[in-house]
Amino acid sequence: MTNERRVLVHPDKQALTGSVAARFLTKTVDIIDDLGGANIVLTGGTVGIGVLQAVNDSPARDSVDWSKVHFWWGDERWVPKGDADRNELAARQALLDNIAVPPGNVHPFAASDELDDLDAAAVAYADELAAYAADGARYPRFDITFLGVGPDGHIASLFPDRAGIRETDATVVAVRDSPKPPPERLSLTRPVLNSSDRIWLVLAGDDKASALGLALAGASYTEVPVAGAKGRKRTVFFVDQDAAAQVPANLIAPSY
């Protein structure tokens, strides 16, 4: 099975989010037709949520049988349920509350006012993953995993030179020393993220150009975590012109 890694460049953030949304709708329909259902891992951030908003605004939104889609998250901030920092809240407002997805198909991390302990929340999400896994597996088959990228190259809540990016045994880690506020978070680990058939990294802005350039130049994933993001089938970087400033021309795919 060939693992393709490519960069698709868009003229601006609006074109980027619209293009990814259209591609997501088409691919999700195909996945459901082929496999009978889909598991999607969501991300937060301005661009990640912008993609969900573009999905919601698309006239093709309801071409997907959302009853056959399960939604997960790559990471979450350890804040109360209704806090504006919650990736879950932003995703619900942008898309999930507006589509016919059964409540049981949405799998958020616990919030700080639902469980008392961050470690217990990590265990709870690991148990949730296992509950929807095939026999003998610890997590479901993921079809598309969305990831944002920080200026420091972090993905999910796996930060450079921290324990989380090196974790290979646990499926979920509790993060207490995030260099980006809030400091306490929950995150899937790199092996779980990389179990996805497709990893779609969506990033915009010139502050992301250095991290992207380093990742594609072969930097260590412990130093630049995005360098270690590799889907089983494909890894696609959807970027705007500003974020692509340091990408070698030979790595940029033609428009599709």
- Per-residue pLDDT of 100-121, as tens digits, reads 999 999 999 999 999 989 999 9
d(CA 233, CA 143): 10
Phi/psi of residue 200, nearest 5 degrees: -110, 110
Distance separating alpha carbons of residues 137 and 85, to the nearest angstrom: 31
Q: Is 194 contained in some domain?
A: no
- Distance, CA of 129 to CA of 132 (rounded, Å): 6
Q: Is residue 7 part of a domain?
A: no
Cα 241 to chain centroid, rounded: 21
The pLDDT of residue 32: 98
Q: Is 252 inside any structural domain?
A: no
CB 212 within 8 A of CB 246: yes
Residue 106 lies in a domain: yes
Domain for residue 139, yes or no?
yes
pLDDT at 255: 55
Q: What is the CATH number of the domain that holds 61?
A: 3.40.50.1360
pLDDT, tens only, 7-54: 999 999 999 999 999 999 999 999 999 999 999 999 999 999 999 999
Distances (CA, A) of 65 to 41, 52, 99, 118, 198: 17, 16, 10, 34, 20
User: How high is the pLDDT of residue 252?
Assistant: 81
Q: Is 12 inside a domain boundary?
A: no
pTM of the model: 0.96
Q: Is residue 196, in this structure, part of any structural domain at all?
A: no
pLDDT of residue 232: 96
Q: Which residues of 40-77 are buried (b: 16+ CB within 10 A; e: fewer)?
A: bbbbbbebbbbbbbbbbebeebeebebebbbbbbbbbb
Q: How far apart are the first and last CA of the chain?
A: 22
Beta bridge partners of 25: none
38: domain range?
Answer: 21-189+208-227
Closest CA to 211 of 223, 200, 196: 223
- When divided into structural domains, the chain yields a total of 1
C-alpha to C-alpha distance for 159 and 175, rounded to whole angstroms? 10
Supply the mean pLDDT for the chain. Answer: 95
Please tell me the predicted confidence (pLDDT) of residue 256.
43
Classify residue 255: in a domain, yes or no. Answer: no
Element of type H or E holding 23: helix 13-35
